[in-house]
Amino acid sequence: MQEKLKAIVEEALEKMKSADKLESLGDIKVAYLGKKGELTEILKSMKEVSPEDRPKVGQMVNDARNVLEEKLEEARQGFVKKMKEEQIKRETIDVTLPAKKTLLGHRHPNNIALEEVERIFVGMGYEVVEGPEVEYDYYNFEALNIPANHPAKDEQDTFYVNSNILLRTQTSPVQVRMMEEGKLPIRMIAPGRVFRSDEVDATHSPCFNQIEGLVIDKNITFADLKGTLAEFARQLFGEGTKVKFRPHHFPFTEPSAEVDVTCFKCGGKGCRFCKGSGWIEILGCGMVHPNVLKMSGIDPNEYTGFAFGVGLERITLLKYEIDDMRLLYENDIRFLRQF
């Protein structure tokens, strides 16, 4: 019996030495120590051993079991250690390498300027309104006192989808839609993209952004328009900014004017930035034409109003002293990071 147990232990130890993975040790343990294992079968045959020899044989079986359990545990620990070492090699982190930087995006200069303009007008009691970019010819031209044969239609080089539908050339159609709703008084600005068939250069693009404003109420005068735009310019360009109104013509306003502000670079003294004039043109404005009010269902004898429009890119270029509009759309991260 002693020789048999010795042979079983030696056989199990040889198998442990040749085991190439942790699962193999589990198979060896089942084969020798399991319910149907070699040592368990010997214990089941103890009834064939004489009573006086049973304690001695039982002790030999227990000793063999202890040896196998001890060797199996040593082999298991060896496999675990080896697997840990391989994992460490595989997942080694070189702490001397530069860390991976998470690049955070930030607002486009156009968006920064737009948010500032919106903040100024919302602070004066205006609401921000949006409208469709694909618009009817009626809202884009006719309802703004620009009939079919008006030269302004040719000047704007419009993208037509068909004879009645086009890509809006201005955000003024949003003003008409608000007036048609008849909820008076109105104090609103309408920012958004507009489209004109322009060649791309330093100051032009076929797609750009406009911000147009409209006020309709009783007893609105040109003085209200001047005061509003003077406050807007002061908040946008600085406390010392002054405004100058030059007579102009727009089909949808009467009287109309172009608005200049004192150069914020030289304070109005004259410099390269303002071409020596001391003034910079920023927007067009005027009192809403009575015909526009009538076509929108508003009585011009009871209500008056003013409107203005400014190019968002123009504000951005002036405010940040950018000399080429194309830089705003090239998405060069080196340029955008400056804002």
State the pLDDT confidence band at 317, using cuts at 50, 70 and 90.
confident
Both tokens of 175, joined, read 């003003």
Is residue 232 pLDDT above 70, yes or no? yes
Residue with the larger pLDDT of the pair 77 and 113: 113
Is residue 92 pLDDT above 80, yes or no? no
Kindly state the percentage of the chain with pLDDT values over 90.
44
Residues 314/261, Cβ–Cβ less than 8 Å: no
Tell me what pLDDT residue 46 has: 65
Tell me what pLDDT residue 234 has: 92
Residues belonging to the binding site are 254
Tell me what pLDDT residue 299 has: 95
Calpha distance 286→253 (Å, rounded): 5
3-state secondary structure at position 243: strand
Calpha distance 93→89 (Å, rounded): 9
Residues belonging to the binding site for Mg(2+) are 254
pLDDT digits (tens, 9 = 90+) for 273-292: 778 888 988 999 999 999 99
Residues 83/22, Cβ–Cβ less than 8 Å: yes
Residues 116/238, Cβ–Cβ less than 8 Å: no
Tell me what pLDDT residue 157 has: 81
pLDDT digits (tens, 9 = 90+) for 43-57: 666 666 667 666 776
3-state secondary structure at position 77: helix
Residue with the larger pLDDT of the pair 308 and 154: 308
- How far is Cα of residue 187 from the mean position of the Cα atoms in its chain? 30
Tell me what pLDDT residue 44 has: 63
Average pLDDT, the chain: 86
Calpha distance 275→310 (Å, rounded): 21
